[in-house]
Amino acid sequence: ADVERDFFPLTVDYQERTYAAGKIPGGFFKREGRPSEKETLTSRLIDRPIRPLFPKEFKNEVQIIATVLSLDPEVDPDI
């Protein structure tokens, strides 16, 4: 169904998984929780410069998912 939108639906998700640092969640909570404040801010840092690169008339839904797969403790992963 064609939906007429007056905005550009761009979704950016930045995810730092615990397995990237070699840790697996254990105990009562076996899953990753909600995104941290750092992950949310990094998602916005990715969104802001990319959004103006799309044409004004482009209204299709776009998702960008950046997942940290490996982590070096000496280097900040969001750089």
What digits encode the pLDDT tens for the residues 37-47? 999 999 999 99
Please tell me the predicted confidence (pLDDT) of residue 70: 80
Instruction: Report CA 31 to chain centroid distance, whole Å.
Output: 17
Residue 75 pLDDT exceeds 70? yes
What digits encode the pLDDT tens for the residues 19-71? 666 666 666 666 667 888 999 999 999 999 999 999 999 999 999 999 888 87
Q: What does the DSSP 8-state code read for residue 20?
A: G
Between residues 44 and 3, the one the model is more confident about: 44
Please tell me the predicted confidence (pLDDT) of residue 52: 95
Prediction pTM value: 0.73
Q: Are 27 and 62 in contact (CB under 8 A)?
A: no
